[in-house]
Amino acid sequence: MSSRQYPDRPIVGVGAVVVVDGKVVLIRRRFEPLKGQWSLPGGAVELGETLEDSIAREIQEETGLEIEVGPVIEVFDRIIKDDESRVEYHYVLVDYLCWPIAGELRAGSDVDAAVLVDPSELGAYQLTKKATAVIGRALELDRDAPRTARPTFAKAPAGKRT
């Protein structure tokens, strides 16, 4: 049992919708919660770490990408109960809109795969309703976000899953 299972208080986590040319980065989780499921990259905030530092670290570890952190998309709870209705996981999640500035998309430490997906193809990845809603909101924010000069980064070939 991990130290995150059956916590005595909620754990603060961060997630990112990383947007690349209108597409989004998805990862397939290697560990619980949501083991084996497609999701947005992210993870728990470490002691002494800011939210923005945490999301930058998590994205680099899980996807190989260095990011520019944009605005907060949403803050919400993810509470997962076991068969006896005990709280098995409780996260307070802060999701950010982010853009890559360096690196190459690849599966990292806590994930089995990392892919770049066109929003029209999200249904094939069986995301949670919340993840799908967060992506939709992120894409709206991305269209309206002011653009700063962003360096080009090396992308994995189209359709390549790592």
Contact 91, 12 (CB under 8 A): yes
End-to-end CA distance of the chain: 28
The whole-angstrom separation of Cα 81 and Cα 158 is: 38
Which residue, among 16, 107, 110, 11, has the nearest Cα to 63 in the 3D structure? 107
Contact 154, 106 (CB under 8 A): no
The token duo for 23 is: 């597409």
pTM: 0.84
pLDDT tens for each residue of the chain, 162 residues long: 457 899 999 999 999 999 999 999 999 998 877 789 999 999 999 999 999 999 999 999 999 999 999 999 999 998 999 999 999 999 999 999 999 999 999 999 889 999 999 999 999 999 999 999 999 999 999 988 766 544 445 554 444 444
The whole-angstrom separation of Cα 116 and Cα 63 is: 10
pLDDT for 156: 47
pLDDT for 34: 76
Q: Coil, helix or strand for 116?
A: strand
The token duo for 150 is: 């962003």
Residue type, 103: G
The token duo for 114 is: 């990392």
The DSSP code for 27 is E
Instruction: Walk me through the domains of the chain, giving residue ranges and CATH numbers.
Output: 11-144 (3.90.79.10)
